[in-house]
A and B are shown apart, each in its own frame.
Chain A
Amino acid sequence: MSGVFHLRPEVRDALTEIFNIGIGHAAGVLSELVNDEILLTVPELGLTRHTDFAAIAGKLWHEPASIVRQSFQGPFRGDALLIFPARESLELVRILLAEPTPIESMTELEREALLEVGNIILNACLSCIADLLEQEITNALPLYLESDPGSLVNSLIADPDWYVIFIRIDFTVKRHNMRGNILFVLDVPAADAFSAAVEKLVDHFESEP
């Protein structure tokens, strides 16, 4: 079995902290975009085989979601997903476009707006993680999808041994009661390379006085 399932508690803690920092920066960007405070929960790290992920996804999302998918490459490759319940993504777009009238479905312009928001947020998160680990991560163009997250993750997976690193941070846009999640999907070598990079960082500071 891969090393990623045998993380020392301090490496697991560090993984959570690294994503916490990345998502904290992403929330800063989102806060500026919507001119509102973003409330964040304490992050929770989940690590599971993708075959077990559908059950987890079913408990977290009860309806189709608006998803921005950002594939990344570098020392570890994978996909970062920004997930909003579909109805709440419409609300977000409405705030961004300053559109006062109620909208029932998403137009092309609105899709583009959400894609751009997702691109900015996920880039803020990935750049911060890359800097912390002193690695370079390159991003593909973001894609917008409407799907249920469990099915999407399954469609990204080529191999039953792939992992889903699931960082659950619920964020709420304070005045608009809007929430979302960020999810990272890595394959086996990527998850091992990622945890090795984190282990190196931990060891560096463990060896300090």
Chain B
Amino acid sequence: MNGDETFLIVDDARLARKMVRSFVAKARPDLTIFEAGDGEEALKVLSGIKELHYATIDYNMPGMNGIDLAKIVKERCPTARIALLTANVQAPLRKRAADIAVGFIDKPINEAKIAAFVTQTATIP
């Protein structure tokens, strides 16, 4: 059953969104899940959500990149737990995410990585 807490998935790949949705639903069936295919759509979705609790954001997307989007989301929703979810596993990008207090989850994702993120046991912000 969906509850008051919300989860936003931002990824231009439909498969990635489906996978995250599936793993989130398994780990936290109480969360209400929203999806967006790019930064612009994410901001539109965000304006319709009362309060955001979790978000995973892809880095390499058409238009705005994931770091720029994460900065805006953090500004609007300072208490939300946000992670960059990307196949771009390079150290400079991990550092840029850490610098803005955003977590980092590397693709390919699995159930354990998403479960750790939504049950708040991972060592990320």
Q: Measuring CB to CB, which residues of chain A are less than 8 angstroms from any residue of chain B?
A: 10, 13-14, 16-18, 20-25, 27-28, 31-32, 37-38, 40-42, 128, 131-132, 201-202, 205-206, 208-209
Give the interface segment out of B47-55, B70-78, B87-95.
B87-95
Q: Are A42 and B92 in contact (CB under 8 A)?
A: no
Give the interface segment out of B13-21, B97-105, B115-123.
B13-21
Chain B contact-residue range equals 20 to 34
Q: Are B19 and A205 in contact (CB under 8 A)?
A: yes
Query: Chain A binding site: helix, strand, loop or mixed by DSSP?
Result: helix
Select which of B16, B21, B88 is within 8 A of A27 by beta carbon. Answer: B88
CA distance A42 to B14 in the complex (A): 14
Given the contacts A20-B60, A131-B108, A208-B25, A28 and B88 also touching, CB distance less than 8 Å: yes
Q: Are A13 and B14 in contact (CB under 8 A)?
A: yes
CA distance A27 to B59 in the complex (A): 14
Q: Residues of B contacting A10 with CB < 8 Å?
A: 14-15
B62 at the interface (CB under 8 A from A): yes
Q: What is the CB-to-nearest-CB distance from A144 to chain B, in angstroms, rounded to a whole number?
A: 25
Q: Are B89 and A28 in contact (CB under 8 A)?
A: yes
Select which of B13, B88, B89, B107 is within 8 A of A14 by beta carbon. Answer: B13
| Chain A residue with Cβ nearest B65 | A42
Please provide the 7 A-B residue pairs with the shortest distance between their CB atoms, ordered closest to farther: A24-B87, A17-B13, A28-B89, A208-B22, A14-B15, A21-B87, A205-B18
